[in-house]
């Protein structure tokens, strides 16, 4: 079940809303229990029996948190962190990386069995989320939660369960026990959800059809124009697909009184790769910063250790995204770019015109998405070769022109929606007196309803509706 499905929009969500809001607000524990039950059902719908893995993760992090909070017993507290880390990361390693490692060993000439393991959806997200709770308890940044229901709700809460954003316990701990659901918050949540749904159905899915149409062809036969069209389409698809999910997650959270932090901040306006990663998948970037980079020493160390710390983070970031050499190379690519900006060409870059810096950044990002999208390294090399004229591919019967002309409204929407136009309009309306304030209040709600109708039409007339980040 996904947010952009009839099962969710016409079945799951309405039933949850009715049951949840029938319960008096003062009976908080019962509302939380309903949310937990529906969240586990939501996960079970797509994961089937692997929902037991989710339950195991909750139990591990609950017990780990109890031990990590024992500051009167430092040994036990440290054991609690190791307990949660070893079991949590061990399960993640088995389900996500065992097959990849075994296949790599086989490719080196050693005959060992390769396990065929079903990857539980969202395992990377809820593993990192649960582990952050235990670490924060150990550090004293969060209180020990002795109520297992509250820990379970934190880990399993359905809006952000399978594709983020990665929520810190310190962000929502007050919401779990003392949140207030108001009509204004509910309306704001519905509005945010509708905007996210439209981004997914109108822009991301259209760009996804183009990207799949190009990437599914033999890369060596592509002409440069078509290759660039496919790469740019995927660049827009992955942004609007993932940011749409985050929008819908944040909106759903607000409907029930939860406040999740933003996960994207217009990353495609960045003028350096460093800035890009301050704006893209913010919850993952800050997770690695706080739990890997800083504990290793961050930038407060000698130069070679600083380089090591950045390298470790980006190798892990690549592996987090998937068990494949393409993801590892994707992480290495960004590692090299960030090291270069930090120690080599960053000073020169800052002195160049803004348009040049933006072009450099987007070129680097588009190349990275080709690595990210490719099935394997040979396809990645061939596709990049096609983009830069290194293949013998001829014009593909006007396919590039077809994808540009047939989908021109979606291309235009993608470009406009990648820019901070919303903030600019809000500032102008704030300066427009009473009329501007009235428009500012009611226009988003009216537009959201229109987008909801448009999204519904797209939903019932199209079968193309994947979520990219469900594989992580």
Q: What tokens appear for 12 in the block?
A: 């799951």
What element of type H or E holds 184? helix 183-198
In 146-297, which ranges are E strands?
none
**In this structure, are residues 161 and 125 in contact, taking their beta carbons and an 8 Å threshold?**
yes
Q: What angle do CA 61, 36, 177 make, to 5 degrees?
A: 80
In the set 178, 306, 321, 358, the catalytic residue is 321
- Cα–Cα distance for residue pair 107/148, rounded to 1 Å: 45
The helix/strand/coil state of 204 is helix
**The predicted structure's pLDDT at residue 110:** 79
Mean pLDDT of 1-6: 85
Residue 395 predicted with pLDDT over 60: no
Q: Which of 52-66, 108-122, 421-435 has the lowest mean pLDDT?
A: 421-435
Q: What is the average per-residue pLDDT within 327-335? A: 96
Q: Report yes or no: 152 and 33 within 8 Å, Cβ to Cβ.
A: no
Cβ contact 9:17 at 8 Å:
no
What's the pTM value of the predicted model, to 2 decimals? 0.92
Counting every residue written for the chain, the total comes to 472
| pLDDT tens track for 59-79 | 999 999 999 999 889 999 999
pLDDT digits (tens, 9 = 90+) for 340-363: 999 999 999 999 999 999 999 999
**Coil, strand, or helix at residue 256?**
coil
Q: Residue 298: left if φ>0, alpha if ψ -120 to 50, beta else—which one?
A: left
Q: Which of 177-181, 223-227, 252-256 has the highest mean pLDDT?
A: 252-256
CA distances from 403 to 214, 239, 367 (A): 10, 19, 20
Q: What is the mean pLDDT of residues 231-239?
A: 97
Q: If you average pLDDT over every residue of the chain, what do you get? A: 90
Burial 368-402 (b: 16+ CB within 10 A, else e): bbbbbbbeeeebbbbbbbbbeeebebeebeebbee
Structure tokens at 383: 């596709």
Rounded distance between C-alpha atoms, residue 337 and residue 350, angstroms? 15
pLDDT category at 304 given cuts 50, 70, 90 is very high
What average pLDDT does the segment 143-152 reach? Answer: 93
178 is annotated as an active-site residue: no
Q: Give me the sign of the Cα torsion angle 334, 336, 341, 345.
A: negative
Residue closest to 165 by CA, chosen among 196, 194, 190: 196
Q: So what's the pLDDT on residue 107? A: 79
Provide CB contacts within 8 A for 127, sequence distance 6+: 57, 88, 89, 91, 92
With 90 as the cut, is the pLDDT of residue 16 above it? yes
Q: Say what the alpha-carbon torsion angle 410, 458, 163, 183 is, to the nearest 10 degrees.
A: 110
Express as a percent the part of the chain with pLDDT over 90: 68
More confident site: 431 or 334: 334
Q: Answer whether 234's CB lies under 8 Å from 145's CB.
A: no
Count Cα atoms within 13 angstroms, Cβ side, for 118.
Answer: 9
């Amino acid at each position: 079940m996904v947010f952009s499905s009839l099962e969710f929009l016409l079945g799951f969500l309405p039933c949850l809303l009715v049951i949840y809001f029938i319960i008096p607000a003062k009976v908080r524990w019962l509302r939380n229990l309903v949310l937990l039950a529906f969240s586990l059902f939501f996960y079970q719908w797509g994961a089937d029996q692997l929902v037991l893995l989710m339950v195991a993760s909750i139990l591990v992090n609950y017990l780990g948190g109890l031990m990590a909070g024992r500051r009167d017993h430092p040994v036990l507290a440290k054991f609690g962190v190791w307990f949660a880390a070893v079991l949590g990361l061990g399960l993640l390693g088995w389900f996500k990386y065992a097959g990849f490692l075994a296949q790599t060993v086989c490719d080196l000439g050693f005959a060992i069995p390769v396990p065929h393991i079903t990857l539980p959806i969202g395992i990377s997200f809820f593993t990192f989320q649960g582990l952050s709770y235990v670490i924060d308890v150990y550090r004293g940044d969060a209180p020990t939660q002795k109520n297992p229901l509250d820990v379970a709700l934190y880990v399993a809460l359905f809006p952000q369960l399978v594709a983020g954003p990665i929520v810190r316990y310190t962000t929502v701990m007050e919401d779990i026990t003392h949140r207030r659901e108001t009509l204004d918050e509910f309306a704001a949540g519905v509005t945010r959800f509708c905007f996210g749904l439209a981004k997914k159905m109108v822009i991301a899915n259209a760009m996804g059809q183009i990207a799949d149409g190009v990437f599914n062809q033999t890369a060596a036969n592509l002409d440069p124009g078509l290759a660039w069209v496919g790469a740019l389409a995927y660049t827009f698809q992955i942004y609007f697909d993932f940011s749409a999910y985050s929008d819908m997650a944040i909106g759903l959270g607000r409907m029930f009184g939860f406040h999740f932090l933003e996960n994207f901040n217009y990353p495609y306006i960045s003028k350096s790769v460093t800035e890009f990663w301050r704006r893209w998948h913010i919850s993952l970037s800050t997770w690695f910063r706080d739990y890997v980079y800083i504990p290793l020493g961050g930038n407060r160390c000698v130069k070679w250790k600083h380089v090591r710390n950045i390298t470790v983070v980006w190798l892990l970031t690549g592996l987090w995204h998937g068990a494949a050499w393409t993801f590892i190379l994707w992480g290495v690519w960004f590692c090299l770019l960030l090291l270069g900006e930090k120690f080599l060409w960053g000073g020169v870059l800052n002195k160049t015109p803004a348009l040049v810096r933006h072009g450099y950044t987007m070129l680097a990002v588009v190349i990275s998405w080709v690595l990210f999208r490719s099935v394997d390294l040979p396809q990645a090399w061939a596709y990049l070769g096609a983009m830069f004229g290194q293949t013998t591919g001829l014009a593909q019967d006007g396919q590039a022109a077809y994808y540009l002309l047939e989908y021109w409204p979606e291309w235009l929407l993608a470009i406009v929606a990648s820019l901070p136009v919303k903030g600019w309009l809000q500032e102008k309306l704030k300066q427009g007196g009473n009329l501007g304030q009235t428009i500012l209040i009611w226009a988003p709600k009216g537009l959201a309803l229109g987008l909801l109708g448009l999204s519904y039409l797209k939903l019932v007339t199209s079968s193309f509706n994947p979520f990219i980040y469900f594989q992580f």
